[in-house]
Chains A and B, each alone.
Chain A
Amino acid sequence: MSLKDQLEQLRRKGVQDISETDSQKRLNEIRVKLLGKKGPITEVLRGMKDLTPAERPTVGAYANEIKQDIAEAIDQRLHELNKVALQHRLQHETVDVTLPGRPIKTGTPHILNQMIDDIEELFIGLGYQVVDGPEVETDHYNFEMMNIPKNHPARDMQDTFYITKELLMRTQTSPNQARTLEKHDFSQGPLKMISPGRVYRRDNDDATHSHQFTQIEGLVIDKHVTMADLKGTLEVLAKHVFGEERKIRLRPSYFPFTEPSIEVDISCFACGGEGCKVCKYTGWIEVLGAGMVHPNVLKNVGVDPEVYGGFAFGLGPDRFAMLKYGINDIRQFYQNDLRFLHQFQQEAK
């Protein structure tokens, strides 16, 4: 048999062996056996010395070609075997995707603070500043500066937690109107502020009363601020909190620190104004009080009411949240039952 024939035979046999092998280990053995220094191809090539110089290059090239073919066959088979092995592995590596994940927890912001934060961000966007004020107020700021002189019925002892004759727990966030106005430099532009915080009333706690609750005060003072601006601002607020379809309605009311004074109703979000239990079949829900700042309040802080004027409003986040989420007992905000608090997780922004 010629050298060439021997080589051809080796190739046929090798390729067949490779294709029949189904283990990576065996393939490596084949690689060593066929292509190694003691392998048959090397053996055959040793017989080249018997060839004529003219034959040698042809046979040599042929031998290299065979080597390459075998190596390729091994690689291809190896690839096939890897693929099968992976398939096999994947079949055994499944998880039950319906099993629960590891418990990972984030906290829930208190719903009242969610309400307050949301309203703060709305007004920040409208160019307002957020102003904090003291919870322990003086009689002077809580009442006198707000046009509620001594002997005014609104100052009855039973409504106010006094600490001393002059110090008290603020009954409203309104004193921050006076405090901010006193400091404001109108040469630097208009005053636009909201002031959220805790307020206190001398009440027995029950489903609708709480001795502590929250308020947000709003105030805009400039040379030309109108009641129409108040109406537009409250419309923006109502739509933001209670939904884009809400309409508002103003009714006459009375507050010592505004004139004119109004109560603000929103069209019922539960029935859209048709009338239902939520709105007591009127189609409207009272949500806040507002008005044009009383000239006396401006005079009290040394701002000329002939030049400056504007509006103020006061709203209760407690009431807002109770209305929006159908909460029927105000005490729930302050008892902090985790089951109550957690349900508002999805509302957090």
Chain B
Amino acid sequence: MKISYQWLNQFVDTEKIDPQKLADQVSLTGIEVASVIAPDAGLKKIVVGHILSTKPHPDSDHLTLCQVDIGASEPVQIVCGAPNVAADQYVIVALPGARIADNVKIKRGKMRGEASEGMICALQEIGFSDSVVPKEFQNGIYVFPNPEPVGESVFEYLGMTDRLIDFDITPNRADTLGMHGAAWEVGAMLHKRPQFPAVEISEGNTKTSDLLNVTVENKEAVPQYLLKVVQNVNVQPSPLWLQIRLWNNGVRPINNVVDVTNYVMLEYGQPLHAFDYDKLTSHEILVRQAHDHEQLVTLDGEKCELVADDIVITDGQDPVALAGTMGGLNSEITAATKNIVIESAVFNGTSIRKTAQRHNLHTEATIRFEKGIDESSTEEALQRAVQLMGELANGQSSQGVLVGNQVIPVAKEIVVVPKHVNHVLGTEISAAQMASIMDDLGFAHQDQTDQLLVTVPIRRWDIFIEADLIEEIARLYGYDKLPSTLPVGAQTIGAFNTKQTLIRKVKKLLLANGLDEVISYALVNEQEASAFTYEQTADIKLAWPMTQDHAYLRQNLISGLLNDLQYNLARKQNDVQIFEQGNVFHKINDEQQPNEIPTLAALWSGQVSAASWLGKSQAVDFYYVKGVLTDLFENLGIADLVTYQADAAIPELHPGRTAKLLLGDQVLGFVGELHPTFQHELNLPEAYVMQLNLDVILAQDLPVLVSQAAPKYPAVERDLALIVHQQVTNAEVVNAIKAAAGKYLTNVQIFDVFTGENIGLHKQSLAYRLHFQNPEATLTDEQVTNAMAKVTAKLQTDFAAQIR
């Protein structure tokens, strides 16, 4: 709500403190201020003018020549195109040199040959939003209702010199959605008790209950429902001061009756509604739940189809208002209205919120009912409206308030223990200081031994427990006065756990191998979600996704990496080597949370080393990727436990260039090239991907490392070349060598792979270097030769190897 500085001062004297300063202070002690609005900002040389006479423009059928008194010695001529311009109007004149809205400068000029000494303005032209301009002036110039001093700046007369402090409230502080609540808040800050004028009304002799009956069916949802009738109202525009209050708060002035209901809402935060008494088909007001499919045309002309969860006000038969939301067109106040019913009520906030959402009707009233209102002033607000309708519309109040329901909450009593307050805040605030803050807030209190018994007024329904009052004390005492300390108490050890340590390590290793880290979306589309998986687990779908692109929880990380690849390719970034660490989600059932599996995935596409003046670039291939994985596994101490199995189970991967990774007998993940078909469908270049389940690594028990001294005795190397069938794998040969070579074999390295006509069809030549070492003595030639003989024999037996 935009708090008018001038209006505020009617309730609490701010001693002319600069509005911006006041706003800054409020932000620090209570309510965040979004901005302080100066309606006349940037405007100048705009004055009250009096149109002395008009005559049509000789060369135009829609322009008028006006002789306007602008307070100068002579009247000036101004050409005006507004349809509603007429003699004897007091109007807004932008003089030559004026600045009007949108920083437009007004110049002396000629319009179709006639001199024009400025411009007669519409409200929109001096910065008013179209939504607050009274309907009669919406398509023309603004005309003052009464004469104003000619030649003087208009700003003061239109309320534009006021300053509007825009309270950006949190949901708990809806008590400041009325001027009274705002005055309490500002008053507490300034240590001043706000003053509110008493409501005084004179009632007529006709009893309200003789004019109306009321029944509230759903008393739970309508804790208060109060009515009064005002008879013989004279419906007309409101006085300017009231219109100013409304438009400065974003409310369009309509007529005095409707304006009064809105004005009182701004004053008290209590929404009111006025019905045309004579339009009600019966005078038996019934408040009830709507029937499904029941219809109501609301004041905005829209037809609403109601549901049983909506609350409606009916005239015994048909709905005449959607409770707390918007009135019905069938009981609208018009210029012809004579007698009115004013409703002041409290409706259940949740119900109103749902109704507002369902029908997309978010009004000043629904905002307040949703967030709460001061239920102790529901009746006073009703009387206040009756008072103003008497003063402004000559209406005669009926006698007594007709009560459909009136359950007013009880003020809460809360014990505040100063020791607790200081314990929580880390302060040394005295009990007397706390009591004084309660005084500033207008909270009654009894000062007892070691504690205060505070009575919280109903207008502060956000306060329930001592902690809430500690907050009141803290904010008004001033957070800037809090000391700044660090927690003391028992020492605690900060350390990453095993999983966090592993994640940090694998990320560092991939970074070191030239991969960039990315973060992709965990919510993906249906195809992406279940691609690159071994077991087809069930999809996890959002109930109401925003878009189909982000409707499913990912079961793999590769899809996200492919999106990132595509994004970069579209921007001519062709060398993409990226990884992501994140969770994939495996559904258990509809009731349980899914398994969230910490996963590491990487993608390589393009050149892994760039071309330079020193040589050509190097494109990624299977063995490059495997090299990175090997480095990773060696650093994790699991290289010897990981096996690679040729695998064609994942349809998105190349069946001949993919390996399933096993850690012991557990599936660790996979590495491979994209399937050419899949690659083609996504219009991608050749790319390799890998994905690892980090839980499998975490579950692997590694023996405690015991160090060994560097070998003292020399190692012996022997080379071995053999020709075997192409289907024999490297792993098979290495395993055979390891099995046969005896205990002194420390390492086997393949250093050449060769196929060609000269070695025979379906044959391959493999060359290995075997490292032998005896940690306790120098190996003899004979020992090594024996070992080699055994290896050779085994290879010949197992693979019919031809040793070269």
Contacts and interface: CB of A to CB of B under 8 A. Distances in A.
Interface of B: 27-32, 170-173, 350, 353, 357, 370-371, 423-427, 465, 467-468, 470-471, 474-475, 479-480, 482-497, 499-500, 504, 507, 510-523, 540-546, 550, 553, 564, 567-568, 571, 573, 576-579, 582-583, 585, 590-591, 593-594, 596, 609-610, 612-614
A251 interface: yes
Interface of A: 99-100, 102-103, 105-110, 112-113, 117, 120, 123-130, 132, 134-138, 151, 153-154, 156-157, 161-164, 166-167, 169, 189-190, 192, 198, 200, 202-204, 211-212, 220, 222-229, 231-233, 235-236, 249-254, 259-263, 292, 294-295, 309-310, 333-339, 341-342
A202 B544 contact: yes
B494 A260 contact: no
Nearest to B28: A251
A220 B426 CA distance: 15
A238 to B, nearest CB: 11
A261 B31 CA distance: 12
B182 to A, nearest CB: 15
B185 to A, nearest CB: 11
B573 A337 contact: yes
A81 to B, nearest CB: 36
Contacts of B492: 127-129, 189-190, 192
B541 A259 contact: no
Contacts of B484: 228, 231-232, 235
Contact of A198 (B496, B497, B522): B522
A220 B490 CA distance: 12
A236 B484 CA distance: 10
B511 A228 contact: no
B521 A251 contact: no
A202 B579 CA distance: 27
A154 B493 CA distance: 35
Contacts of A224: 423, 488-489
A113 B582 CA distance: 11
A233 B514 contact: no
B29 A252 contact: yes
Contacts of A236: 486
Given A228-B425, A254-B170, A336-B568, A292 B467 contact: yes
Contacts of B468: 259
Given A190-B490, A198-B522, A338 B424 contact: no
Contacts of B594: 136
A107 B496 CA distance: 23
Contacts of A231: 479, 482-485
Contact of A102 (B515, B593, B612): B612
Contact of A153 (B353, B465, B496): B353
Contacts of B491: 127, 189
A95 B353 CA distance: 77
Contacts of B593: 134, 136-138, 167
Given A137-B593, A252-B29, A260-B474, A227 B425 contact: yes
B523 A110 contact: no
14 contacts: A99-B613, A100-B612, A107-B511, A107-B513, A110-B519, A162-B544, A202-B546, A226-B423, A227-B482, A229-B426, A232-B483, A334-B521, A337-B568, A338-B576
B511 A106 contact: yes
A195 B568 CA distance: 32
A204 B567 contact: no
A82 to B, nearest CB: 33
B496 A124 contact: yes
A189 B496 CA distance: 18
Most chain A CB within 10 A, of B515, B579, B583, B593, is at B593
Nearest to A203: B546
Contacts of A233: 486-487
Contacts of B614: 102
B370 A153 contact: yes
A127 B519 contact: no
B517 A110 contact: yes
A254 B486 contact: no
A294 B516 CA distance: 42
Contacts of B545: 161
Given A233-B486, A294-B467, A103 B609 contact: yes
Nearest to A233: B486
Contacts of B487: 190, 192, 220, 222, 225, 229, 233, 310
B486 A112 contact: no
B512 A106 contact: yes
A250 B523 contact: no
A146 to B, nearest CB: 15
Contact of B483 (A103, A223, A228): A228
B585 A262 contact: no
Contacts of B475: 252, 260
A216 B546 CA distance: 25
Contacts of B542: 161-163, 169
Most chain A CB within 10 A, of B427, B479, B511, is at B479
Contact of A259 (B467, B479, B482): B467
Contact of B573 (A226, A310, A339): A339
A211 B550 contact: yes
Nearest to A228: B426
B540 A163 contact: yes
Given A161-B523, A226-B485, A228-B485, A295 B497 contact: no
Contact of B520 (A102, A222, A251, A334): A334
Nearest to A153: B171
B423 A124 contact: no
Q: 8 tightest A-B contacts by CB?
A: A226-B426, A228-B426, A254-B170, A260-B471, A250-B479, A124-B494, A107-B511, A336-B518
Contact of A135 (B28, B499, B519, B583): B583
A183 to B, nearest CB: 13
A156 B576 CA distance: 40
Contacts of B471: 252, 259-261
B188 to A, nearest CB: 12
A295 B32 contact: no
B543 A309 contact: no
Contact of B32 (A136, A164, A167, A251): A251
A130 B544 contact: no
Given A127-B494, A260-B471, A107 B515 contact: yes
B28 A107 contact: no
Contact of B596 (A135, A154, A192): A135
B479 A262 contact: yes
A109 B467 contact: no
Contact of A100 (B371, B423, B567, B613): B613
Contact of B517 (A108, A151, A309): A108
A136 B523 CA distance: 11
Given A130-B496, A337-B573, 4 more contacts: A102-B612, A123-B494, A231-B479, A236-B486
A162 B496 contact: no
B181 to A, nearest CB: 15
A295 B511 CA distance: 45
Nearest to A234: B484
Contacts of B497: 129-130
B438 to A, nearest CB: 16
B585 A136 contact: yes
Contacts of A167: 593
A249 B544 CA distance: 39
A156 B582 CA distance: 28
Given A124-B496, A198-B522, A253-B170, A109 B507 contact: yes
A236 B519 CA distance: 28
Given A164-B590, A167-B593, A136 B553 contact: yes
A229 to B, nearest CB: 5
Most chain B CB within 10 A, of A105, A151, A200, A225, is at A105
A112 B507 CA distance: 14
A251 B546 contact: no
B514 A105 contact: yes
B393 to A, nearest CB: 37
